[in-house]
C-alpha cells in the first residue's frame, strides 16, 4: 500500500519539473512536452487520491485528462508543423510577430 503522501510528493516533483521546463525553455516542442509532464503530474495525484479513498471517480477523471492531453498534443504539433513551414526556427521569440 502506497501512502497518498508519496503520490502527492511525486506529483509535486513532476509538476515542478514541468513548470521549470515550460518557463525555462524557448523551444515550442519542449514547451509542449513540459505541459504533458504537468498533466501527468495531475494524473498521478488523481490516481493516488482515488486509491486512498477507494473510489473510481479519480481514475475516470484521469482518463479524461489523458484524452485532453492527446488532443492537445495533436493540435499543438499540427500548429508547430504549420508554423515551421513559414518560419525556419521553433523558438518562441521568432513567433511573436505572426504576419502572413
Residue 99 within any structural domain of the chain: no
Helix and strand tally (H, E) in the chain?
3, 0
Domain that holds residue 58: 4-86
Q: How far apart are CA 18 and CA 50, in angstroms?
A: 23
Residue 78 within any structural domain of the chain: yes
pTM score, whole prediction: 0.84
Residue 17 within any structural domain of the chain: yes
For 43-70, how does the pLDDT look when each residue is reduced to its tens digit (9 = 90+)? Answer: 999 999 999 999 899 899 999 999 999 9
Residue 76 within any structural domain of the chain: yes
Which residues of the chain, if any, have pLDDT below 70? 94-100
Contact (CB, 8 A) for 92 and 32: no
Number of domains in the chain: 1
Residue 79 within any structural domain of the chain: yes
Q: Specify the CATH number for the domain of residue 53.
A: 1.10.287.3510
What's the burial of 84, exposed, middle or buried (CB within 10 Å: 0-12/13-18/19+)?
middle
Amino acid at each position: 500500500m502506497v501512502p497518498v503522501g508519496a503520490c502527492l510528493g511525486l506529483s509535486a516533483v513532476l509538476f515542478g519539473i514541468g513548470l521549470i521546463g515550460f518557463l525555462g525553455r524557448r523551444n515550442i516542442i519542449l514547451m509542449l512536452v513540459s505541459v504533458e509532464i504537468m498533466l501527468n503530474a495531475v494524473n498521478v495525484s488523481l490516481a493516488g487520491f482515488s486509491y486512498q479513498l477507494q473510489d473510481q471517480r479519480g481514475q475516470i477523471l484521469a482518463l479524461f485528462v489523458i484524452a485532453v492531453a492527446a488532443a492537445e498534443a495533436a493540435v499543438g504539433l499540427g500548429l508547430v508543423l504549420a508554423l515551421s513551414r513559414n518560419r525556419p526556427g521553433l523558438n518562441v521569440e521568432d513567433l511573436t510577430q505572426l504576419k502572413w
